[in-house]
Chains A and B, each alone.
Chain A
Amino acid sequence: MRAAVILFPGSNREGDVARALHQANGVKPAIVWHDERELPARTDLVVLPGGFSYGDYLRCGAIAARVRIMDAVRAHADRGGLVLGVCNGFQILCEGGLLPGVLMRNADLRFICRMQHLRVENNETRFSQAYAKGQVVKVAIAHGEGNYVADATTIATLEDGGRVAFRYCDAKGRLGEGANPNGSINDIAGIYNEGFNVLGLMPHPENLIDPLVGGIDGRGLFASLMAA
């Protein structure tokens, strides 16, 4: 598995996700500067890391979605290549049209930084096969704009197609108001594109790969990718 992590000005989780990939893969990913034209040869997986690309100016992810390297990322996705967007990376994928919908300001207007449970909605993808269906995992969230919004037709398409990857839930896997940190429609924490080769999610599985920092539930995503 050859992975490339795209580095935008203002990205700040590239080291975290590189560590998670290294742990799962035994190989460090390439770090690719946003102004490059091409991905490294034979890249299998592109990761758009978390952070505050371009200072969240205009809209979160709006400017990063339109820089040069994103043409290469889009071509990679069109060829069926794997793309993972975490947090700001998810916002970039939505802004760039690789995933539908948009991430709006959290319903309570607060930046949320804490642990959060998720329910694995679909474990039959190259991102999730190491998890069990319905498995409840504990990972970190840290965002101000994670409130997933899309029109009713898009939501129905996502739901009917099994394209909701993760939902916010409580420790017992129950959905509902208290368990939804940001107001996302249908408690959506992450979604797939139509080909299931692009995943965007707000939570940070890359931060839960070491027992030292409170859990290893994030490892499943990277283990899934390495088995893909």
Chain B
Amino acid sequence: MKARVIVTLKGGVLDPQGKAIEGALKSLGVEGVASVRQGKVFDVEIDAADRQAASARLGEACEKLLANMIVENYSVEFV
């Protein structure tokens, strides 16, 4: 099945890249942008009995590698 893993910075962790993108959007005249935080998306094809099993395995993937749990959170979606 196909899953999407989303890794984002935890609240309170400074994100200079997000800040720079935010500034660029403002200078391009995109209205109403209050703030930008940058994250990562991983589209994963995974074999598992069901979504619950896949979700557990992807959680393991995040904890072991995809996210640095000191500064990042993750979530899993199925598409």
A-to-B contact residues, CB < 8 Å: 58-59, 62-63, 66, 95, 101-102, 104-109, 149-151, 183
Please tell me if the beta carbons of B16 and A102 are within 8 angstroms of each other in the complex. Answer: no
Contacts A59-B68, A63-B65, A107-B14 aside, 13 further interface pairs with beta carbons under 8 A come to: A58-B65, A58-B66, A62-B65, A62-B68, A66-B64, A66-B65, A102-B68, A102-B71, A104-B14, A105-B16, A150-B70, A183-B14, A183-B16
Please tell me if the beta carbons of A95 and B68 are within 8 angstroms of each other in the complex. Answer: yes
Please tell me if the beta carbons of B70 and A102 are within 8 angstroms of each other in the complex. Answer: yes
B-to-A contact residues, CB < 8 Å: 13-14, 16-17, 20, 64-66, 68, 70-71
With the chains together, A225 CA to B37 CA distance in Å?
Answer: 43
Distance between A110 CB and nearest chain B CB, rounded to angstroms: 10
In the complex, 29 of the A-B residue pairs with CB atoms within 8 angstroms, ordered by the A residue number, are A58-B66, A59-B68, A62-B65, A63-B65, A66-B64, A66-B65, A95-B68, A102-B68, A102-B70, A102-B71, A104-B13, A104-B16, A104-B71, A105-B16, A105-B17, A106-B16, A107-B14, A107-B16, A108-B16, A109-B16, A109-B17, A109-B20, A149-B13, A149-B14, A149-B71, A150-B70, A151-B70, A183-B14, A183-B16
**Residues of chain A lying within 8 A (CB to CB) of residue B20:** 109
**Residues of chain B lying within 8 A (CB to CB) of residue A66:** 64-65
**Residues of chain B lying within 8 A (CB to CB) of residue A104:** 13-14, 16, 71
**Which 9 interchain pairs have the tightest Cβ spacing?**
A102-B70, A109-B16, A102-B71, A105-B16, A102-B68, A107-B16, A109-B20, A59-B68, A105-B17
